[in-house]
């Protein structure tokens, strides 16, 4: 049973919020009111006699541990009818998984020092009597404090290694990519199992990628990709050391943490860990600290309710300095109107007003001779307003079109990783939907416009998202984030697209592994059916298939297939009757999107020799022929460089990603023929993958 904030446990520990929840335990952030310090409280969720005895026995052992790279366990207590609790130091800072997501690849020297520090902790644990085996070393369980110190955390899965003890007792962490093969099933785990997991963690820190799973490698399905193939500037000596720690045969690994530590330091031309104030670079201070919600492949899903203090801060009154700035802007605008400056600008011709990029949204001004499409009523817009939002002071409703009220997109505004945001076409407000430590991107709307499917982790825009997983969130309940109910695969699932009937999600996946002949990493399309709860691989070729899109009637899929170049293909939803749609052979075609009547497929084109990406379209009747038409037509102002368009519910507009300066990606809107271009989101941050909310039913 979850413990609510402000609960006082054992007349001493007042709960602040939940930090994480796994299958057998929950961890809470709390304050020890006796001495006024922050602590972490771990609650045992498995209250059977066997697990309860094991939890207490482990608590007794852990309470005796004292090491600078380990948190200190300070208390254990049992509340009849409620549960068992372990109290330990609360370690501030960022975990290594966050750092990898933020930096992608860490400096070689820091990885060596970090690995040696964890080896110090393992030497201490493994030399206890009986030896203590951690069994869950991974990036998410290594913390870097604000002072730059390294701490190995989370002892909820430790094993006390005794000569007469079978390894089948107790909980087992099985994190794909980080767990050694012997940790699956009933194999014997020992000190060398921790060596493997630490080696996998250092591999991820150096390359930014999770190593191939140990069990898959043991069965011959996969082979370990050498570190220098992923990052060529890493020293060969360090690569060999870490790859030895990752041997699937435990006898071929380092046999103890001391040997692994010596080898790591030797690779860095060191004999001991340097004595410095900060062993590694301290984590950056976050400007807006939000609850940590982990969705990475190295962590189970943890849904964290927003604390009351955070909810209140999102709705606070503007500070005095903001009011002063708004007053100055108001006076300035009034003067411009009085002097006729704005009026003269509009009277100078059919020019569009494109405001300069700022950290707040810009009101959309569309000048068009075509009839104005319908807009959302204020009543409907009120149903779509999440709690956390960024408002434009003094924003007024403005003429717009499209038939839908929100644009969802990904942005790293106000964060070090990508998060989901929405832009309202009704009042110009931007709202941040997610606060995931792992990041979130690639949103796709459910057909009723009330849910969004997305992927996480997501640090930035990529072609392939290794280790990603698909989740859904309701925009009326942002705290409820649910993983797509498919078997977790560490390879990565991405490019989700919701079917028009809402019953299926199609996505790209690295699940197929490598091609048996070419050894090229395959990407195929999969479909999950919510009704039958079945997952099906629908493309099974030697090609790489990505970016699926549904036809409006749900009877066809368009997708990008890498042959000699990227081509647009079509198939039935089950993958049958696949045919090439692209006609041109000298371009790379990506990001297909159907027109609302289903007669045209729009896509992004780019020369195979590089160059600037642009938009094209082609009628389904011309499939396979080189009869693409460019958007906008020749002679009209160009939209390039641009990519990833999504058509409005009424079919008359599209939203897209554009980067005029070659670097800063923003969100734009245009009418379906490429005219009436205007910026929606123009911040110094990186925005991409915009999708238009379907029109809500009355």
Could you list the active site residues?
Answer: 136
Distance CA 546, CA 558 (A): 10
Tokens representing 57 are 């026995």
- Tell me how many degrees the CA angle 645-646-647 measures, rounded to the nearest 5: 120
Sign of the dihedral through C-alpha 91, 96, 102, 105: positive
User: What one-character DSSP code corresponds to residue 391?
Assistant: P
In this structure, how many other beta carbons lie within 10 angstroms of the beta carbon of residue 673? 14
Reference 412, options 652, 599, 666; nearest CA is 666
Are 423 and 681 in contact, with CB atoms under 8 Å apart?
Answer: yes
State the chain's maximal CA–CA distance in angstroms.
91
Q: Long-range contact list for 23-26, CB < 8 A, 24+ apart? A: 23/300, 24/51, 24/156, 24/171, 25/156, 26/2
Tokens representing 519 are 């050894």
Grouping H, G, I as helix, E, B as strand and the rest as coil, residue 251 is helix
Q: What is the DSSP string of 75-136?
A: EEEEETTTEEEEEEE---SEEHHHHHHHHSS--HHHHHHHHHHHHHHHHHHHTSSS-EE---
Overall size of the chain counted in residues: 698
Residue 421: C-alpha distances to residues 119, 302, 424, 617, 642 (Å): 41, 20, 10, 28, 20
* Strand partners of residue 26: 21, 43
CA within 13 Å, CB half, 614: 19
Are 187 and 181 in contact, with CB atoms under 8 Å apart?
Answer: yes
Residues 6+ apart with CB under 8 A from 269: none
Tell me the H-state helices in 184-339: 191-207, 214-218, 227-230, 236-245, 257-267, 308-314, 320-339
Tokens representing 43 are 């609650």
Distance CA 583, CA 150 (A): 56
Distance CA 5, CA 228 (A): 47
């Amino acid at each position: 049973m979850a413990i609510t904030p402000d609960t006082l446990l054992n007349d001493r520990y007042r709960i602040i919020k939940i930090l994480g929840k796994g299958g057998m335990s929950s961890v809470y952030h709390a304050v020890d009111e006796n001495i006024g310090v922050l602590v972490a409280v771990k609650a045992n969720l498995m209250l059977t006699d066997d697990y309860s005895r094991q939890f207490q026995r482990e608590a007794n052992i852990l309470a005796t541990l004292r090491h600078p790279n380990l948190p200190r366990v300070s208390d254990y207590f049992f509340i009849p009818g409620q549960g068992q609790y372990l109290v330990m130091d609360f370690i501030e800072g960022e975990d290594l998984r966050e750092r990898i997501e933020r930096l992608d690849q860490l400096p070689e020297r820091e990885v060596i020092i970090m690995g040696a520090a964890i080896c110090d902790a393992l030497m201490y644990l493994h030399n206890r009597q009986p030896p203590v085996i951690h069994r869950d070393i991974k990036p998410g369980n290594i913390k870097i404090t604000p002072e730059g110190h390294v701490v190995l955390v989370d002892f909820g899965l430790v094993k006390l290694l005794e000569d007469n003890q079978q390894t089948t007792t107790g909980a087992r962490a099985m994190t794909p990519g980080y767990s050694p093969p012997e940790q699956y099933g009933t194999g014997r785990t020992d000190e060398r199992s921790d060596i493997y997991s630490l080696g996998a963690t250092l591999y991820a820190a150096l390359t930014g990628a999770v190593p191939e799973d140990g069990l898959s490698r043991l069965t011959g399905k996969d082979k370990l990709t050498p570190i220098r193939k992923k990052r060529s500037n890493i020293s060969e000596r360090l690569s060999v050391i870490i790859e030895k720690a990752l041997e699937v045969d435990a006898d071929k690994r380092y046999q103890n943490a001391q040997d692994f530590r010596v080898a790591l330091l030797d690779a860095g031309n060191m004999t001991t860990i340097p004595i410095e104030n900060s062993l590694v670079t301290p984590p950056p201070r976050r400007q807006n600290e939000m609850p940590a919600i982990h969705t990475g492949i190295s962590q189970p899903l943890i849904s964290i309710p927003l604390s009351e203090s955070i909810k209140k801060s999102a709705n606070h009154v503007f500070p005095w300095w903001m009011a002063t700035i708004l007053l100055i802007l108001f006076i300035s605008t009034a003067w411009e109107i009085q002097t006729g400056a704005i009026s003269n600008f509009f009277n100078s011709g059919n020019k569009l007003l494109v405001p300069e990029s700022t950290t707040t949204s810009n009101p959309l001004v569309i000048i068009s001779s075509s009839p104005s499409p319908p807009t959302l009523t204020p009543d409907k817009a009120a149903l779509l307003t999440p709690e956390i939002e960024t408002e434009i002071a003094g924003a007024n409703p403005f003429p717009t079109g499209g038939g839908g009220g929100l644009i969802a997109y990904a942005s790293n505004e106000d964060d070090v990783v990508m998060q989901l945001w929405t832009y309202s076409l009704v009042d110009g407000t931007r709202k941040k939907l997610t606060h995931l430590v792992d990041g979130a991107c690639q949103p796709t709307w459910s057909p009723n416009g009330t849910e969004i499917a997305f992927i996480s982790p997501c640090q930035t825009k990529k072609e392939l998202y290794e280790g990603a997983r698909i989740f859904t969130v309701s925009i009326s309940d942002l705290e409820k984030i649910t993983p797509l109910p498919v078997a977790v695969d560490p390879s990565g699932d991405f490019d989700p697209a919701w079917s028009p009937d809402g019953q299926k999600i199609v996505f790209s996946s690295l699940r197929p592994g490598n091609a048996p002949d070419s050894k090229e990493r395959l990407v195929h399309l999969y479909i999950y059916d919510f009704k039958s709860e079945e997952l099906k691989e629908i493309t099974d070729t030697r090609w790489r298939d990505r970016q699926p899109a549904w036809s409006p009637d749900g009877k066809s899929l368009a997708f990008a297939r890498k042959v000699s170049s990227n081509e647009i293909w079509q198939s039935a939803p089950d993958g049958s009757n696949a045919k090439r749609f692209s006609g041109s052979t000298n371009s790379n075609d990506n990001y297909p999107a159907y027109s609302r009547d289903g007669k045209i497929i729009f896509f992004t084109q780019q020369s195979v020799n590089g160059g600037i990406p642009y938009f094209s379209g082609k009628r389904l009747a011309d499939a396979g022929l080189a009869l693409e038409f460019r958007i906008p037509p020749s002679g009209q102002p160009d939209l390039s460089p641009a990519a990833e368009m999504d058509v409005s519910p009424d079919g008359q507009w599209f939203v897209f990603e554009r980067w005029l300066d070659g670097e800063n990606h923003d969100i734009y809107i245009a009418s379906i023929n490429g005219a009436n271009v205007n910026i929606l989101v123009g911040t110094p941050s990186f925005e991409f993958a915009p999708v238009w909310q379907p029109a809500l039913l009355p």
